[in-house]
Amino acid sequence: MLKPLALLLALAAPVYAQVRVVSPDGRNRVSVEIQQGRLYYSVQRDGRPLLLPSLLGFEFRGAPPLRDSLRLVDTSRTTFDEAWTQPWGEVRRVQDHHNELKVAVTETAPPARQFTVVFRVFNDGVGFRYEFPDQPNLKDFAVTDELTEFSMADDARAWWIPSNRPRLDRSEMLYSSSPVSVIDSIQTPLTMETRDGKTFVVIHEANLVDYARMFLSGPRMQSRTLRAALAPYADGTKVYGRTPFVTPWRTIQIADRATDLSPSLLGLKLNPPSVIPNTSWIKPMKYVGIWWGMHINTMTWSSGPKHGATTANTKRYIDFAAANGLGGVLVEGWNVGWDGDWIQNRNAFSFTRAYPDYDLAEVARYAHAKGVKLIVHNETSGGLENYERQIDSAYTLYQSLGLDAIKSGYVTDLVGEGHSHYGQYMVRHHRLVIEKAAQHGIMLDVHEPIHDTGERRTYPNMMSREGARGQEYNAWSSEGGNPPEHETILFFTRLLAGPMDFTPGIFDILIERGTGRPRRPDESRVRTTLAKQLALYVVLYSPLQMAADLPENYEHQPAFQFIRDVAVDWDTTRVLEGKIGDYVVVARRERNGSNWFIGAITDEEARTFDIPLSFLTPGRRYTAEIYADGPKANWLTNPLPVTISRRPVTAATRLHLALAAGGGTAIRIRRVD
């Protein structure tokens, strides 16, 4: 005789028809169900569909797809609520409060494989991943396709860069915007705004450890379903694995306003805690570098009369950094291998041997004596094997010289035998580098990286990366430079993945003084005002923040004081105003201090803002040091004027900001009592 409860459950069978889990605030709901043997999930926000039923599953080489004849066998739930302090970041504390649902399924027919999908539902979004337990009929496997879908209920507007070009330019493309129904193949993070303007959704991934990077392949017209598209090996395989195995998290960040998207902490919550016990050596800093000169052609990476990385030149940069309180000096082109076509000659790079005019040990000694860190450049040109062969000896050398920061580079489209720059082959390489760097006490700034999936939580030495079109394009791009709206898009797209080494701070906007000749009209230039260059230090977060221009271009420039003063590590971040592609106003309070900084930037439109300073501590007095676009400033015709003013402010003050076309405002608010 069945007990009443068991009877009820038996009658309600299939009891697992649809299982649900909601966010702690009840606003986000995930439903999971089987329809005709296939597993789907959907997402609702405030009771309205955001993602319609979206397929889950896989295709394998030499085995049937894991997709059909599925049956739910078990569900389990937990709640988690815990906070942690970041060693550095856009905010000091992160709260991870979520409800978790695990859904275990099995094939009802042979080979009767099993897997579990784990959903974590937060107030700021959803993460889910697949877990494959060890099992007789799923041991070693080769994924040929991940079938995960994101079926948008609304034909939302999306901001995207493509993923289906023969050359992907290492994610260094300009953004486009279109309804989701017409996008083709794109990279994540993919930011979308529903047509009613009421919901913002960002699809990305977290904790990419031993898998391929996820792109999204677009819906064929009339549909709004995006599908996971994994970056391949040369033979088309996406992922090699062996059970037990877990995939990265697929993340769906959800917000009511664009200004609520940043800082994006969802991905950090889906990465394991730090494995580096003592992080005291990991320090955010500003840096200058022997760098811009190569991009504007006044210096070379290669040896010869214009070689930038000489001992004498490096000492000059070290002196400049020390005199201005900047923490580091990057030196590119110091090591043997840059002569000739350095992209083709990827295997010629030595990571220990310097050019004869660069005395590495002496420069390291000099930097140390001046309290400046030397940032070692390791351009691999994608020669991973060449780099991995040398990594132990190189990192041992750097460590012995007290060098604890590396900027690496992967200027290439394919790696190894023709594998994607974004595939599992490359993901494994990056993980090896992060681990080796951690072992040798080295901080990393990776250029041409794979997108950030929150690695910095587990490895706080993984500090910054490029992975988007940065300042360098203003030196040489064929389009004439980044358009004025560029950074107002980056803030709501690329920067949601994590910090970006954009390299702000070019003062020689027309790139004339540096080159000693007037710029031709067809040449690239910086397409912002000078004040906007300052504002980027606050807007575009990076724990390694470059003062990118030549030191001589900062001399006798009163506006340079802002770069000296601006913090690089934050306690609190507030996005005060923002519209994707139009403008951003951000306020951040420095870590371990009471000063605030504001960065405001606009696209090609001039704009004004009234900013209440209610975030300041009531009853305290402050001085605002304001670096604003000067009279008649305009990015195109008159980019240089900056007006610097000071005024007393309190929590009751409203600041009126006037930004020129392509302009910005940068403010330090210093507490005076």
197, HSE (Cβ side, Cα atoms, 13 Å):
3
Residue 63 β-bridge partners: 60
What track of x and - describes contact with ligand NOJ for positions 250 through 289 (by CB under 6 A)?
A: ----------------------------------------
Where do runs of H (alpha helix) occur along 453-545? 455-458, 473-476, 486-490, 530-539
455 is catalytic: no
Distance of closest approach, residue 433 Cβ to ligand NOJ, in angstroms: 15
306 or 656, CB closer to ligand NOJ?
306
Member of 291, 541, 554, 597 binding ligand NOJ (CB under 6 A): 291
> Residue 569 binds which one of ligand NOJ, Ca ion, none, with CB within 5 to 8 A depending on kind?
none
Member of 332, 404, 452, 508 binding ligand NOJ (CB under 6 A): 332
What track of x and - describes contact with ligand NOJ for positions 410 through 429 (by CB under 6 A)?
A: -x------------------
> Residue 644 binds which one of Ca ion, ligand NOJ, none, with CB within 5 to 8 A depending on kind?
none
Tell me the three state secondary structure of residue 531.
helix
411 or 644, CB closer to ligand NOJ?
411
Catalytic residue among 146, 193, 472, 487: 472
Where do runs of H (alpha helix) occur along 57-206? none
The neighbour count for residue 65, using CB atoms within 10 Å, is: 12
Distance of closest approach, residue 166 Cβ to Ca ion, in angstroms: 18
Nearest CA to 91 out of 500, 555, 516, 569 is that of 569
> Residue 22 binds which one of Ca ion, ligand NOJ, none, with CB within 5 to 8 A depending on kind?
none
One-letter-per-residue 3-state SS of 204-231: EEECCCCCCCEEEECCCCCCCEEEEEEC
Distance of closest approach, residue 647 Cβ to ligand NOJ, in angstroms: 38
Burial (0-12, 13-18, 19+ Cβ within 10 Å), 346: buried
470 or 483, CB closer to ligand NOJ?
470
Distance of closest approach, residue 291 Cβ to ligand NOJ, in angstroms: 6
Instruction: Respond yes or no on whether the N-terminal peptide bond of residue 111 is cis (omega within 30° of 0).
Output: yes
The neighbour count for residue 646, using CB atoms within 10 Å, is: 11
- Provide the token pair at 189: 């993070």
The neighbour count for residue 236, using CB atoms within 10 Å, is: 10
225 or 553, CB closer to ligand NOJ?
553
The neighbour count for residue 310, using CB atoms within 10 Å, is: 21
Distance of closest approach, residue 52 Cβ to ligand NOJ, in angstroms: 40
Q: Return d(Cα 413, Cα 422) in angstroms, integer.
A: 9
> Residue 409 binds which one of Ca ion, ligand NOJ, none, with CB within 5 to 8 A depending on kind?
ligand NOJ
> Residue 332 binds which one of Ca ion, ligand NOJ, none, with CB within 5 to 8 A depending on kind?
ligand NOJ
Question: Contacts with ligand NOJ: how many residues (CB under 6 A)?
Answer: 8
92 or 465, CB closer to ligand NOJ?
465
- Provide the token pair at 243: 């059970």
Question: Contacts with Ca ion: how many residues (CB under 5 A)?
Answer: 1
Running DSSP on this structure, what letter comes out for residue 136? T
42 or 533, CB closer to ligand NOJ?
533
The neighbour count for residue 234, using CB atoms within 10 Å, is: 14
What track of x and - describes contact with Ca ion for positions 442 through 471 (by CB under 5 A)?
A: -----x------------------------
Nearest CA to 177 out of 198, 161, 164, 163 is that of 161
> Residue 635 binds which one of ligand NOJ, Ca ion, none, with CB within 5 to 8 A depending on kind?
none
Distance of closest approach, residue 51 Cβ to Ca ion, in angstroms: 34
Instruction: Respond yes or no on whether the N-terminal peptide bond of residue 14 is cis (omega within 30° of 0).
Output: yes
Q: Return d(Cα 77, Cα 100) in angstroms, integer.
A: 5
> Residue 291 binds which one of ligand NOJ, Ca ion, none, with CB within 5 to 8 A depending on kind?
ligand NOJ
The per-residue b/e assignment along 369-396, b for 16 or more CB within 10 angstroms, e otherwise, is eeebbbbbbbbbbbbbebbeebbeebbe
Residue 426 β-bridge partners: none
286 or 447, CB closer to Ca ion?
447
Residue in this structure with the two tokens 């998290």, named with its chain if needed? 249
Distance of closest approach, residue 395 Cβ to ligand NOJ, in angstroms: 18
> Residue 358 binds which one of Ca ion, ligand NOJ, none, with CB within 5 to 8 A depending on kind?
none
447 or 456, CB closer to Ca ion?
447
Give CA 406 to chain center in angstroms. Answer: 18
Distance of closest approach, residue 499 Cβ to Ca ion, in angstroms: 15
What track of x and - describes contact with Ca ion for positions 409 through 448 (by CB under 5 A)?
A: --------------------------------------x-
Site for ligand NOJ in 450-509 (CB under 6 A): 466, 472
Kindly state the helix (H) or strand (E) to which residue 369 belongs, with its residue range.
helix 360-369
Residue 176 β-bridge partners: 160
**What does the CA dihedral 654, 575, 499, 160 come to, rounded to 10 degrees?**
-130
Q: Return d(Cα 563, Cα 416) in angstroms, integer.
A: 41
Distance of closest approach, residue 146 Cβ to ligand NOJ, in angstroms: 30
At position 118, the amino acid (one-letter code) is V
Member of 241, 409, 630, 639 binding ligand NOJ (CB under 6 A): 409
411 or 414, CB closer to ligand NOJ?
411
Give CA 651 to chain center in angstroms. Answer: 32
> Residue 379 binds which one of Ca ion, ligand NOJ, none, with CB within 5 to 8 A depending on kind?
ligand NOJ
Instruction: Respond yes or no on whether the N-terminal peptide bond of residue 189 is cis (omega within 30° of 0).
Output: yes
- Provide the token pair at 67: 């997709």
Distance of closest approach, residue 409 Cβ to ligand NOJ, in angstroms: 4
Q: Return d(Cα 195, Cα 182) in angstroms, integer.
A: 14
Distance of closest approach, residue 333 Cβ to ligand NOJ, in angstroms: 8
Residue in this structure with the two tokens 């691999």, named with its chain if needed? 380
Residue in this structure with the two tokens 């001992």, named with its chain if needed? 311
54 or 545, CB closer to Ca ion?
545
Q: Return d(Cα 210, Cα 241) in angstroms, integer.
A: 8
Based on the shown chain and the rule CB under 6 A, indicate whether residue 387 belongs to the binding site for ligand NOJ: no
Q: Under a CB-based contact definition with an 8 Å cutoff, are residues 497 and 190 in contact? A: no
309 or 559, CB closer to ligand NOJ?
309
Tell me the three state secondary structure of residue 493.
coil
Member of 379, 445, 549, 625 binding ligand NOJ (CB under 6 A): 379
Member of 269, 447, 469, 527 binding ligand NOJ (CB under 6 A): 447
247 or 381, CB closer to ligand NOJ?
381
Distance of closest approach, residue 516 Cβ to Ca ion, in angstroms: 26
> Residue 554 binds which one of Ca ion, ligand NOJ, none, with CB within 5 to 8 A depending on kind?
none
Q: Can you give the binding site for ligand NOJ, defined by CB under 6 A?
A: 291, 332, 379, 409, 411, 447, 466, 472
Q: Can you give the binding site for Ca ion, defined by CB under 5 A?
A: 447
By annotation, the residues acting in catalysis are 472
